[in-house]
């Protein structure tokens, strides 16, 4: 049975393993620094579909199929799929996963979804609720832009604090195994809202949630940032990362030496002109399931804190003057 320590942290008992992962991305992501670590780079923005939303669904389909293929598992040997995304009513997941016929438990955590789905899959396997479970999420630059911002055809100028939604998906198959990376701990986050209202500055909106969850984890476990090979946030970008350092300083934890952010890893910010970095559910999903899992399997990383953050707003809530609450979920991944 998983063991609760401190207020918010669960330690797993049976080392639920991340058996296999797959990451698929678009052309811009494939042309970035991590291009070599993705399983597939699609040069057609539409992935052969007739809408960007269907293209996003296809990203989820392909990521799951590739991860299952690596695991040599047919879909019927998976008991649950935990999935979500940021499209209205999570249609990226629904239409992308419909054909797989795996029992579907939709998750909503905005850009924290990869951490949330991986946490759920791992806790289900660790508790014996499933032999195997899949975690998956996605985002697509074009479907996100038109849903949350402006039609692409407007050619809107982008604020310096804005981030670039990643076109990509990541999927992880969790189950039992004798070696390889496993989920050692999970800290679920609270909804945190310091009153940020600028929807062109998601990093600032999400940093307080990241600081709250990371502080809970350190307090619960009695550990410090320098005990980990890497503390990697989902998509705080450059602005949010700097804010996170300041917020963590106030809690007595200097994370600068140990921290990086998936939104800063996936793009070369200056060359690729993405302003404050990458974002979207697919950002942390593709970086985790591609690059980070590669480093874990190689033994170049052996103990990381993966913490994805979500901005919990809608266009309606922003139009009605609401601030942007954030949430961050943390998953500790170890080798051994």
- Identified binder of a copy of itself from the candidate list 22, 55, 59, 97, rule CB under 8 A: 97
- What region does 154 belong to: left with phi over 0, alpha with psi -120 to 50, or beta? alpha
Name which of 131 and 229 has its Cβ closer to a copy of itself.
131
Using rule CB under 8 A, residue 108 touches a copy of itself: yes
**Residues 174-207: b if buried by 16+ CB within 10 A, e if exposed:** bbeeeeebbbbbbbbbeebbbebeebebbbbbbb
Name which of 299 and 321 has its Cβ closer to a copy of itself.
321
SS3 (DSSP) at 52: helix
Q: Do residues 51 and 41 lie in contact, with contact meaning Cβ atoms separated by under 8 Å?
A: no
- Name residues contacting a copy of itself, limited to 34-63 (CB under 8 A): 50-51, 53-54
- Identified binder of a copy of itself from the candidate list 116, 139, 284, 309, rule CB under 8 A: 116
Name which of 24 and 78 has its Cβ closer to a copy of itself.
78
Residue 307 CA to residue 291 CA, distance in Å, equals 15
For the bound state, the minimum distance from the C-beta of residue 316 to a copy of itself, rounded and expressed in Å, comes to 6
Q: Which two tokens stand for residue 159?
A: 């604020």
Name which of 102 and 236 has its Cβ closer to a copy of itself.
102
Region near a copy of itself per CB under 8 A, out of 28-36, 228-236, 289-297, 307-315: 307-315
- Identified binder of a copy of itself from the candidate list 31, 33, 35, 106, rule CB under 8 A: 106
139: Cα within 13 Å, side-chain hemisphere: 30
Helices 141-148 and 52-70 meet at what angle, rounded to 10? Answer: 140
- Name residues contacting a copy of itself, limited to 311-330 (CB under 8 A): 312-317, 320, 322, 325, 327
Pairing of strands 326-334, 182-187: antiparallel
Residue 75: what are its φ and ψ, rounded to 5°? -55, -30
List contacts with a copy of itself (CB under 8 A): 1-2, 4, 8, 10, 50-51, 53-54, 79-80, 84, 86-91, 93-95, 97-98, 101-110, 116, 120, 123-124, 127-129, 147, 188-191, 193, 312-317, 320, 322, 325, 327
């Amino acid at each position: 049975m998983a063991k609760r320590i401190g207020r918010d942290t669960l330690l797993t008992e049976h080392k639920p393993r991340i058996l296999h992962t797959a990451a698929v991305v678009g052309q811009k992501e494939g042309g970035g620094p991590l291009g070599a670590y993705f399983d597939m780079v699609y040069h057609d923005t539409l992935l052969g579909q007739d809408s960007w939303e269907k293209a996003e669904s296809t990203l989820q389909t392909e990521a799951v199929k590739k991860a299952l293929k690596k695991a040599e598992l047919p879909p019927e040997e998976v008991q649950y799929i935990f999935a979500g995304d940021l499209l209205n009513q999570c249609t990226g997941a629904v239409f992308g996963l419909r054909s797989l016929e795996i029992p579907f438990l939709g998750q909503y955590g905005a850009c924290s979804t990869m951490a949330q789905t991986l946490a759920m899959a791992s806790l289900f396997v660790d508790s014996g609720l499933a032999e195997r479970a899949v975690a998956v999420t996605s985002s697509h630059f074009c479907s996100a832009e038109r849903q949350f911002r402006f039609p692409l055809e407007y050619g809107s100028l982008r604020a310096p604090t804005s981030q670039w939604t990643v076109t990509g998906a990541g999927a992880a198959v969790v189950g039992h195994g004798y070696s390889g990376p496993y989920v050692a701990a999970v800290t679920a986050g609270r909804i945190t809202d310091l009153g940020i209202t600028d929807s062109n500055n998601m990093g600032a909106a999400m940093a307080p949630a990241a600081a709250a969850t990371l502080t809970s984890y350190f307090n619960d476990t009695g550990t410090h940032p320098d005990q980990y090979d890497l503390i990697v946030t989902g998509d705080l970008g450059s602005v949010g990362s700097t804010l996170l350092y300041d917020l963590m300083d106030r809690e007595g934890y200097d994370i600068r030496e140990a921290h990086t952010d998936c939104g800063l890893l996936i793009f070369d910010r200056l060359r690729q002109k993405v302003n404050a970095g990458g974002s979207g559910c697919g950002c942390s999903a593709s970086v985790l399931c591609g690059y980070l899992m590669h480093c874990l399997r190689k033994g170049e990383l052996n103990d990381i804190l993966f913490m994805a953050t979500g901005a919990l707003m809608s266009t309606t809530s922003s139009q009605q003057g609401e601030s942007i609450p954030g949430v961050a979920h943390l998953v500790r991944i170890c080798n051994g």
